[in-house]
Copies of this chain bind each other. A is one copy, B any other.
Amino acid sequence: MTRFALTLEYDGTPFFGLQRQATGPSVQQAVEEAAARVTGETVTLRAAGRTDTGVHALAMRAHLDIVKAIEPFRLMEALNAHLRPNPVAVLACEVVADDWHARFSCIGRAYEYRIANRRAPLTLEANRAWQVPQPLDAEAMHEAAQALVGTHDFTTFRSVQCQAASPVKTLDQISVRREQEHVIVAAAARSFLHHQVRSMVGCLALVGMGRWRIGQVAEALEARDRQALGLNAPPHGLYFMRAVYPGEG
């Protein structure tokens, strides 16, 4: 048996999230079925994160175990061939140690959230960004976001379906920047609660619109109450950007 680490890019639009669901197609199912066709084996994909319906990934990390002898480059090419026409691509494939685990070995995760700050509906970027027509003050959003950095009880920013044992997480970094008509929120942590990034972005957008004062984000955090959440941003603006492992860049 050989363990392979994969770097996956996907368009989350047609999937019911990354994880296998009884209700519809998932990224996991697409990759596992491709791997089964390549190897003749029943394989299980384990991923660094569990992205929701409509959430995208530029570099999700995952692993699978294969008995058949196959070179990593050939496995990548074969998976990509069999993944068509699913919008999932294997960007990299390498052999890792048997105890390397895409989820449990991961020590850092980074997301970006893409807001298209414009009045006109989206065309080329439909399902790729959250369209917000009101002008956003990205600097105010950045300032408000800094209250979230550090170790906190993030109950306010946690989905009621979240399965994490504790609502306490450490947010290492969050920044908000403007790039022409886009406002990009970047966040990094060891791990996140379910809906945490989308919930933080929703509240920051309220600050950007001038509907919340900068200090209200800190107040919402301190409330430790889901009812204090102003707005949950939609999934299609969210991108899983990077997973970090010990000994990697």
Contact = CB atoms under 8 A, between A and B. Distances in A.
Give how many copies assemble into the complex: 2
A211 B88 CA distance: 30
Contacts of A9: 120, 123-124
A126 B80 contact: no
A179 to B, nearest CB: 13
18 contacts: A9-B120, A9-B123, A10-B123, A11-B123, A11-B124, A11-B126, A56-B124, A58-B124, A76-B120, A77-B119, A80-B121, A84-B121, A87-B124, A88-B123, A89-B121, A89-B122, A89-B123, A91-B118
A113 to B, nearest CB: 15
Interface of A: 9-11, 56, 58, 76-77, 80, 83-84, 87-91, 118-124, 126, 128
B56 A120 contact: no
Contact of A126 (B83, B87, B120): B87
Contacts of A119: 77
A76 B119 CA distance: 10
Nearest to A9: B123
Most buried by B among A88, A120, A126: A120
